[in-house]
Amino acid sequence: MTRVAVLGARGRMGSASVQAIDAADGLEVVAQIDVDDALDAITESGAEVVLDFTQPAVALDHVRWCIERRLHVVVGTSGFDDAQIDTVRALEPATGVLVVPNFSIGAVLMMKFAAEAAPYFESVEVVEMHHPDKVDAPSGTATRTAEMIASARSAAGSPPLPDATHTDPDGARGATVAGIPVHALRARGYVASQEVVLGGVGETFTIRHDSHDRESFMPGVVAAVRAVAGRPGLTVGLDTVLGL
């Protein structure tokens, strides 16, 4: 039985994860930690794996704390960026640290398919759609998708994306991540959706994924918690856990 502590346990993702982990064979939630709770409760509970669904401002400190105590940690905190990932990599953790931008298996496949398709099209842009309570933009999934697309295009020797825009005082063209345009929508009714729009002469190709309920993330959460102890060091993305 793997003993799991959940940070951010009273949040939307944290509370759903507590239920999913407790329902999974071989896993047991032994500590539920939220704002103002002492982290010492994690070690007192005998937890072996920590699942973090807190905020970017504190998640890195939590990872350090776990590494120092030789605890495995899965980071699901949205907005855990490249600088924080580089900091974790520099720590050379002996335990497993798994940073997951998106726990949805469908979203992971969407990112993989987008990266595979991107070198075959002249244009590619990412549009992500989330609920208005989300605190970061662009989403971690959109950022990861853009980075994967850029890497695939670079490896294939693809030319820069065409874009004649030279006047955009209000930022209508969105942000750029690794040279890929990324647009963020925030509207009530969404949970998490993303489109990758690819274009060539005479055609467009759209890859879209929608999560309608946070239950869609739970199989990925369980898979990550089960896998992290067997992956010492830093791993980014659920795709490696799934063998993609």
As annotated, the active-site residues are 130, 134
Q: What's the token pair of residue 113?
A: 């398919």
Dihedral sign (CA 155, 156, 157, 162):
negative
**Cα 59–chain centre separation:** 13
Q: What's the token pair of residue 137?
A: 């933009």
Q: Can you tell me the distance from the alpha carbon of 195 to that of 217, in angstroms, rounded to the nearest whole number?
A: 18
Q: Which is nearest to 105 in space by CA: 194, 219, 235, 222?
A: 219
Cβ contact 13:214 at 8 Å: yes
Kind and range of the H or E run holding 99: strand 96-99
Name the DSSP class of 170: T
For the beta sheet containing 2-7, the strands, ordered from the edge strand earlier in sequence to the opposite edge, are: 27-33, 2-7, 49-52, 72-75, 96-99, 233-236
The CA-atom distances, in angstroms, between 6 and each of 20, 55, 57, 129, 190 are 12, 13, 17, 26, 25
